[in-house]
Amino acid sequence: MTPIHVLVVDDDVITCNLLEEVLTKEGYLVDKALSGEEAIQKGESQLFDVVLSDIRMAEVDGMAVLKAFKQKSPDTIVIMMTAFGSIETAIQAIKEGAFDYVSKPFKLDEIKLTIQRALEQRELFKENILYRQELITKYKLENIVGRSPQMLKIYKTIARVADTKSTVLITGESGTGKELIARAIHYNSSRASRPFIAIDCSSLAENLLESELFGHVRGAFTGAIANKRGLFEEANNGTCFLDEIGDISLAMQAKLLRVLQEHEIKRVGGTETIKIDVRIIAATNKNLEELVAEKKFREDLFYRLNVVTIHLPPLRERPEDIELLAEHFLNKFATENNKPVPHLSKEALELLKRYNWPGNVRELENVIERAVTLAQRPLILPEDLPRRIRQEQSPPSSVGFLPSKIPLSELEKIYIKKVLEETGGNKKKAAEILGIDRRTLYRMAARYGLNFKK
DSSP per-residue string spanning 183-240: HHHHTTSTTTTS-EEEEEGGGS-HHHHHHHHHEE-TTSSTT--S-EE-HHHHTTTSEE
Domains of the chain: 5-128 (3.40.50.2300), 142-311 (3.40.50.300), 316-448 (1.10.8.60)
Q: For residues 332-365, b (16+ Cβ closer than 10 Å) or e, as one string?
A: bbbeeeeeeebebeeebbebbeebbbbbbbbbbb
List C-alpha distances in Å: 193 to 48, 139, 186, 187, 188: 39, 12, 9, 8, 10
Would strands 264-265 and 274-275 be described as parallel, antiparallel, or unpaired? antiparallel
User: What is the structure's pLDDT at 123?
Assistant: 54
Determine the 3-state secondary structure of 34 from DSSP: coil
Rounded Cα distance between 372 and 378, Å, is 9
Give the closest residue to 182 by CA, choosing from 243, 268, 224, 249. 243
User: What is the structure's pLDDT at 148?
Assistant: 85
Rounded Cα distance between 309 and 37, Å, is 41
The one-letter amino acid code at 345 reads: S
| DSSP secondary structure code for residue 132 in this structure | -
Question: 72-83, pLDDT tens digit by residue?
Answer: 888 888 998 877
Rounded Cα distance between 343 and 20, Å, is 42
**Contact by Cβ (8 Å): 221, 268:** yes
User: What is the structure's pLDDT at 185?
Assistant: 92
User: What is the structure's pLDDT at 85?
Assistant: 54
CB atoms within 10 A of CB 3: 11
Rounded Cα distance between 365 and 359, Å, is 10
User: What is the structure's pLDDT at 282?
Assistant: 96
The one-letter amino acid code at 20 reads: E
Give the closest residue to 105 by CA, choosing from 5, 4, 6, 10. 10
Residues 6+ apart with CB under 8 A from 404: none
Rounded Cα distance between 181 and 156, Å, is 12
User: What is the structure's pLDDT at 395?
Assistant: 41
User: What is the structure's pLDDT at 279?
Assistant: 95
The answer to whether the predicted template modeling score (pTM) of the entire model surpasses 0.75 is no
User: What is the structure's pLDDT at 451?
Assistant: 66
Rounded Cα distance between 217 and 221, Å, is 9
81: which strand partners? 54, 102
Give the closest residue to 276 by CA, choosing from 305, 306, 238. 238
Q: Which stretches of the chain drop beneath a pLDDT of 70?
A: 1, 84-91, 122-143, 392-409, 451-454
Give the closest residue to 245 by CA, choosing from 281, 276, 215, 273. 281
User: What is the structure's pLDDT at 406?
Assistant: 59
Q: Is the dihedral of CA 437, 438, 441, 446 positive or negative?
A: negative
Question: 177-200, pLDDT tens digit by residue?
Answer: 999 999 989 988 889 888 999 999
CB atoms within 10 A of CB 84: 11
Give the closest residue to 67 by CA, choosing from 97, 41, 89. 97
**Contact by Cβ (8 Å): 238, 195:** yes
